[in-house]
């Protein structure tokens, strides 16, 4: 998934939390924040502290990856050809 906004990030966090069958309170306890903070993050409210967002992603086992935005556009929709990316990286470009 390509995250382009705080709403995108919030939707991804909420979807992952539901897949893991966690309620907002349980996730909040794992992260060390309030249930209200998790709710605001899931609603895409801007201004969330980056360290807390990263801690939330870690608690949900959602790795954050920063890559070349042009690579993401080559695929269809949200799909990315990981083999092509690895091959390019091995070739040095």
The span from the CA of 88 to the CA of 11, in Å, is 31
Closest CA to 45 of 14, 1, 78: 14
pLDDT at residue number 58: 95
Planar angle of CA 44, 2, 92, nearest 5 degrees: 140
pTM above 0.75, yes or no: no
What string of pLDDT tens digits covers the 93 residues of the chain? Answer: 778 899 999 999 999 999 999 999 999 999 999 999 999 999 999 899 999 999 999 999 998 888 776 655 554 455 666 777 777 878 875
pLDDT at residue number 84: 75
pLDDT at residue number 1: 74
């Amino acid at each position: 998934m390509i995250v382009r906004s705080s709403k995108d990030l919030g939707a991804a966090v909420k979807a992952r939390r539901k897949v893991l069958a966690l309620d907002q309170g349980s996730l909040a306890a794992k992260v060390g924040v309030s249930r209200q903070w998790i709710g605001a993050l899931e609603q895409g409210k801007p201004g969330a502290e980056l360290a807390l967002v990263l801690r939330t992603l870690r608690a949900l086992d959602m790795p954050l990856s920063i890559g070349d935005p042009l690579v993401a556009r080559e695929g269809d929709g949200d799909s990315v050809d990981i083999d092509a990316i690895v091959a390019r990286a091995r070739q040095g470009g």
